Amino acid sequence: MSGAFVVHCHSGMGPAHYDLMLADGASLATWRLPDPPGDLAKGGSMPAKRLAPHRTEYLDYEGPVSGGRGRVDVFDKGSCLRLAAGELCWRVRLDGRRLSGVYELRRNSADSDRWTFSRAGEQARQ
């Protein structure tokens, strides 16, 4: 399934983190990443936490987050081709300014919101 993705840098509420959002029908499947995903080396990985789905309006949003929860700025955005998606693993091809290649989100266990984000494809663009 083809769609879009965005990565927001979320700041102003504790340490900055990155929210990876992948188009998934009428909403955005969302994971929190602790570090910039553009810095991930081929074969590298980092922890990810699954968050509640976000509204598709976030694909084009930058600015304050409601409830005084800081602000978000677009780190990267582009097209997303979903290669596989399920309860335990999502595999996607991202094509953005900074992220380009195949990436995988793998759930650590069936009853957890803890996942691992890894880079399986070619180099990310800098």
Identify the three-state secondary structure at position 28: strand
Q: Which residues contact 53 (CB under 8 A, 6 or more apart)?
A: 24, 27, 28, 29, 30
Backbone angles phi, psi at 39, to 5 degrees: -90, -5
pLDDT of residue 106: 96
pLDDT at 1: 60
Inter-residue contact 43 to 64 (CB < 8 Å): no
Sign of the dihedral defined by the CA atoms of residues 123, 38, 115, 43, in that order: positive
Distance CA 37, CA 40 (A): 5
Predicted pLDDT of residue 122: 52
List of the chain residues with pLDDT < 50: 123-126
